[in-house]
Amino acid sequence: MDIRNIAIIAHVDHGKTTLVDQLLKQSGSFRENQHVAERAMDSNDLERERGITILAKCTSVVWKDTRINIIDTPGHADFGGEVERILSMVDGAVVLVDAAEGALPQTKFVVGKALARGLKPIVVVNKIDRGDARPDEVHNEIFDLFAALGANDEQLDFPMLFASGRQGWADEELEGARKDLAPMFDLIVRHVPPPQVDKDAPFAMVATILENDNFLGRVLTGRVEQGRAKVNMPVRVLRPDGSVVETGRLTKLLSFRGLERVPVEEAEAGDIVAVAGLSEATIPETIASPEITEPLASTPVDPPTLSMTFRLNDGPLGGREGKKVTSRQIRDRLFKETEGNIAIRVTDSPESEAFEVAGRGELQLGVLIEQMRREGFELTIGRPRVLFRTNEETGEREEPFEEVLIDVDEPYSGVVVEKMAQRKGLMQDMQPSGGGKVRLTFLIPSRGLIGYHGEFLTDTRGTGIMNRLFAGYQPWAGAIEGRRNGSLISSEDGATTQYSLFSLQERGTLFVDAGEKVYVGMIIGEHSRENDLEVNPVREKKLTNIRAAGKDDALLLTPPRKMSLEQAIAYIEDDELVEVTPSAVRIRKRYLDPHERKKRDRQGASA
């Protein structure tokens, strides 16, 4: 059977996962009466909640005697480690673009990677049924984007389809028949080349996705680059430097059929398979026949740009809400994450019972923390820090920069430009994008964006859209002003009272409600002034023997400002931590004792 391997590339929320659902249905991968969840490829709970694809996934459909292996890639640049590995397994790419929004930064990120690998893309303008669709302008935008990314003449001569993933049709003509996705299947078979492989050479493949299965153990997915894989065949695993990791046997071979993995006895070069039976092999190592001594080429991964410190939860409430609370459990979980997620780097911190975790961005590390929290871990997280580097030629200190593309209503553009300038952002472009909106493009240091997203949504009344893309390293841009307001810090342990919180409201914005547990050093609100203020949120009203003529006035509390995990991580300063447990997200000072804090402040001032 002929094989085609393709990746589907798109910006977040442009409809690629929905389109894959329709491809599965129309190819007959589902029975007529089979119930399938919407966005079947987004199987992870966090993916369904956030509406994004985090992990790359493989599926397979058969169309007129050709097996098409489809890989759904993440759209966020934060998950770029997934993207780079996936593109090494495919021979073609479908670039999906929203007919109204056009090509956005994360499309640009993955398309740039695909063009650099020499893939010839098929462009699909999706959501053509939108009222504000502008297909001709989007076509021109994509051409300009490909040219800017260095596409060759062959890549610039891309075939194009107009489609509606939700309605399940695609057509080469804008006013075509709009019946089904047959034109898309036919174009993939026609335009994407079959894998260029040697089926008679000794077996070899590169591991690109790693999972842990309760029954099979480590399951490694990749494309068979040469030869044939057979059940129980002996193999050796080679690192990229050629050293041997382990030798073993392939106890199980799994091939993709629709959304399921089906056991097979043999797989030949060009097909994408999952193998089990190896205990130490990981990404991006070569699994091969024993006679092979040279590893296959694997894709280098862009370095991490952001780091956070993960610590043991040593607060007074530590160990009460989670099941996994020791530093050994945290360490094991973090190092296990690095096996399957090569974009994350974990090192032991100089601090006791703490670990430095470096990744691509706040979103990627926020997803990891949320996963650990749901697994029953308790942690404290430090403020995100960007990773600087020294330019070997000039000796200059360099920091990561990002290209930020903002769509905002015209009345709010002024405040956005002002805030970005305060954070050392340089405006690259400003143009109207229709419907009273303006599209702004900035180049800004990554550290300038830490904590800005929530402020941005407030400034634009929730209507602004911000997309970001790693743009490389540039010389340090100078100091950026941090949070202006101080904190309201609890001076007592106990449960908050309505009486006490009512009197504290005028001091600033509260983060806690009446009846919540607090402790000494916990941050319960934001002070209205620049300095930190210690307050007593557990004070109760003193009772007297005098009977009042009337009832006390009802004490009305303003609803507290509740922060999500990402908002809390972005909010904290260097001397603060976020306490994360399965049931709560709290903010606290790093040093809970007020005398210790003053001592550290004096040391910092004299240093």
Q: Consult the annotation and say whether 108 binds a ligand.
A: no
Q: What pTM was computed for the model?
A: 0.70
* Per-residue confidence (pLDDT) for residue 443, from 0 to 100: 93
The terminus-to-terminus CA distance of the chain in angstroms comes to 71
pLDDT at 432: 80
**pLDDT tens-place string over residues 173-231:** 887 778 888 888 899 999 999 988 888 899 999 888 777 777 888 888 888 999 999 99
What is the average per-residue pLDDT within 254-258?
82
How far is the CA of 444 from the CAs of 104, 384, 398, 421, 602, in angstroms? 17, 16, 13, 9, 33
For residues 589 and 491, is the Cβ–Cβ distance under 8 A? no
Structural tokens at position 183: 């034109």
Mean predicted confidence (pLDDT) in 156-160: 91
- Give the model confidence (pLDDT) of 349-368 as tens digits: 888 889 999 987 777 788 88
199 is in an annotated binding site: no
Local confidence band at 300 (pLDDT 50, 70, 90 cut-offs) = low
Q: Please tell me whether 126 is known to bind a ligand.
A: yes
Q: What percent of the chain has pLDDT over 90?
A: 27
Given this model, what pLDDT does residue 137 score? 87
Give tens-digit pLDDT for 41-63: 444 444 344 444 334 467 888 88
Arithmetic mean of pLDDT, 452-468:
80
C-alpha neighbours within 13 Å on the C-beta side of residue 6: 30
> How do residues 380-428 score in pLDDT, each as one tens digit?
999 888 889 888 888 899 998 988 888 888 899 999 999 999 999 999 9
389-475: CATH architecture: 2-Layer Sandwich (3.30)
Task: Determine whether the annotation assigns residue 14 to a binding site.
Answer: yes
Q: Is 128 annotated as a binding residue?
A: yes
Give the model confidence (pLDDT) of 70-90 as tens digits. 887 764 444 445 566 778 888
Domain 2-191: which topology? Rossmann fold (3.40.50)
18 marked as binding residue: yes
CB 115 within 8 A of CB 156: no
Cβ contacts of residue 450 below 8 Å, gap of 6+? 362, 383, 384, 386, 570
As a three-state string, the secondary structure of 221-257 is EEEEEECEEECCCEEEEECCCCCEEEEEECCEEEEEE
Most confident stretch, 75-79, 434-438, 543-547: 434-438
Q: Are 74 and 44 in contact (CB under 8 A)?
A: no
Contacts of 214 (CB under 8 A, 6+ apart): none
CATH superfamily of 487-606: bipa protein (2.40.50.250)
Taking the C-alpha atoms of residue 190 and residue 167, their distance in angstroms, rounded to an integer, is 24
pLDDT at residue 98 is higher than 90: no
Three-state SS for 409? Answer: strand
Mean pLDDT of 569-578: 88
Q: CATH fold of 204-288, please?
A: Elongation Factor Tu (Ef-tu); domain 3 (2.40.30)
**Model confidence pLDDT, tens digit, residues 508-525:** 999 999 999 999 999 999
Q: What is the pLDDT at residue 436?
A: 79
To the question of whether residue 127 is assigned a binding role by annotation, the answer is yes
Q: Which residue has the tokens 């931590």?
A: 577
17 labelled ligand-binding? yes
Would you kindly state where each structural domain of the chain is located, as residue ranges? Answer: 2-191, 204-288, 389-475, 487-606
d(CA 67, CA 192): 12
How confident is residue 261, by pLDDT bands cut at 50, 70 and 90? confident
| Predicted local confidence at residue 513, as pLDDT | 92
15 assigned to a ligand binding site: yes
* Chain mean pLDDT for the chain: 83
Q: CA–CA separation, 138 vs 97, rounded Å?
A: 8
In this predicted structure, the answer to whether residue 280 has a pLDDT above a threshold of 80 is yes
| 16 marked as binding residue | yes
Q: Where are the beta strands (DSSP E) in 36-102?
A: 57-63, 66-72, 92-98
Angle between helices 135-148 and 105-116 (to 10 degrees): 50
Sign of CA dihedral 28, 29, 33, 35: negative
Helix (H, G, I), strand (E, B) or coil at 349: coil
Question: Is pLDDT at 308 greater than 60 in this prediction?
Answer: yes
| Contact between 94 and 142 (Cβ < 8 Å) | no
Helix (H, G, I), strand (E, B) or coil at 374: helix
401 vs 480: CA distance, rounded Å: 14
Q: According to the model, what pLDDT value does residue 537 have?
A: 93
